Structure 1
């Protein structure tokens, strides 16, 4: 009866195959402004808003992941993909053999989101009114929303922000930052990625980069502040013709050109600087580059 020896093995293989890539179909009643926290180690996360007071999760659960559940109350809930093996921060130290999990999450349109992903691209679409916080290690983050506050951090993935946000904090290490409609406040940081941002009128804008090129477009609010610091990337700033600000700009070894005021060459070095007032000087603009070129242009 050698066949009997293989029955336990066949059963275990059958169970393993049944658990692999398991379909997900979960739902939970939710308040219109519920906070939804989502984390995924590997795979993909897509969040779409709809006009229902309900959170729905579909997709497929990767092999080696624990059974998924929506935990919490109608006002605050968590959806977390975890490995059956050891766990750490975001399960970063978990079993690398765990399969990719795809999460398709529907949330109320006014919901707030808190999303953590490791090796997973992430897409958010349709949020209107809720705050958004995103942390990504190697996945690209795409956010199409209208939000009072968006806080997004990525290591090697880019951040693409559509829609509009009154206040943003966007930080990457090697990924790009693309945000065409930023409101009153912006904190932008990258090491080697490009920054393409427009919006305003800004009450406060802080930007720093090491080697990425920068393109900024937008106005400055009365008494607003505008600070840009770049090491080796080129910087181009385009502002309205009715700009009202005290402008201070300098570059150590790059080329400096401005449609406002007169640029002066350094007396004892290769650098250039600009000190001028546009309009009544209601705001303050400070722009510094080390080796990158700097352009300050008047928008027609």
Structure 2
């Protein structure tokens, strides 16, 4: 039985780093002033993103960050303001941190912005949901779905291995939608007039609107 005991002891030694590096969760709440016509720039590597427009004069950011403790300590949620632009980087690494493996913090965002805010969202492995934002929007996601409601200005949305859904479009927006290995679904009110450009590889287009192909 002695060899068995030695094997079990060796296994515990191998598992010890895994137990020590178990994921932890921390929550971040920030409020940043942003006037009419401002821009929100968001970079995220992993975790769902939800953005809602409202009649407010600031950006409210609620984030849930999940990773091992050393990553939470060395990879920061960085929020910067420059003029009329608020920039959020979910994975800002310390300059002196040399870890190259498992160097991502999963971050889920719930963000409220002034209704007329322009959005520039660039994420990886993240689903993006936007509702009630009337400013122009640029959304890029890799391995994630994108859904936008209430768009009223230019919307450019690009996904790779994900679907694009645009619903309840008001005004006369300019839609530029592109997906690789995903579907495009566009639904607008009967009285809306939208300009739609789309590109899909290994996907389908569903549009509940009259289309004139050019």
**Residue deviations 1:20-60 (CA, integer Å, cap 9, x gap):** 32111111100122110111100111101111100011121
Structure 1 residue 77 displacement after superposition: 1.2
Structure (1 or 2) with the greater strand fraction: 1
Choose 1 or 2 for highest CA Rg: 1
Matched, 1:79 2:88: yes
Local SS of the residue matching 1:21: strand
Q: TM-score, normalised by structure 2?
A: 0.76
Q: Is the 8 A contact 2:91 2:104 kept in 1?
A: no
Match of 2:207 in 1: 197
Q: Distance in 1 between matches of 2:174 and 2:87?
A: 25
Q: Tell me how far apart the structure 2 counterparts of residues 97 and 58 of structure 1 sit (CA, whole Å).
A: 22
Contact 1:83 1:98 in 2 (8 A): no
Determine the C-alpha separation between the residues in 2 that align with 1:173 and 1:47: 24
Match of 1:70? 79
Q: Which residue of 1 aligns with 2:8?
A: none
Q: Distance in 2 between matches of 1:52 and 1:156?
A: 34
Structure 1 residue 56 corresponds to structure 2 residue 63:
no
8 A contact 2:91–2:105 mirrored in 1 = no
TM-score scaled by length of structure 1:
0.56
Q: Which residue of 28, 35, 48 maps to 1:31?
A: 35
* C-alpha contact (below 8 Å) 1:85/1:95 kept by paired residues: no
Tell me what 2:180 maps to: 173
1:105 aligns with 2:111: yes
Corresponding residue of 1:273: none
User: Structure 1: how far apart are the matches of 2:154 and 2:143?
Assistant: 23
Structure 2: tracts of 5 or more residues without a match: 1-19
CA distance in 1, matches of 2:28, 2:112: 13
In 2, Cα distance between equivalents of 1:84 and 1:39: 13
CA contact (8 A) 2:76 2:94 kept: no
Q: Which residue of 2 aligns with 1:114?
A: 120
Correspondence for 1:185 among 176, 190, 195:
195
Higher helix content, 1 or 2: 2
Size of the alignment, in residue pairs? 181
Please tell me whether the aligned partners of residues 27 and 55 of structure 1 are also in contact (alpha carbons under 8 angstroms).
yes
Pairwise CA RMSD of aligned residues?
Answer: 2.3
**1-structure distance, mates of 2:59, 2:46:** 21
Q: Distance in 2 between matches of 1:49 and 1:102?
A: 18
Q: Which has the higher contact order (CA 8 A, sep 6+)?
A: 2
User: C-alpha distance in 2, partners of 1:140/1:127?
Assistant: 18
SS at match of 2:37: coil
Deviations 1:237-289 (A, max 9, x none): xxxxxxxxxxxxxxxxxxxxxxxxxxxxxxxxxxxxxxxxxxxxxxxxxxxxx
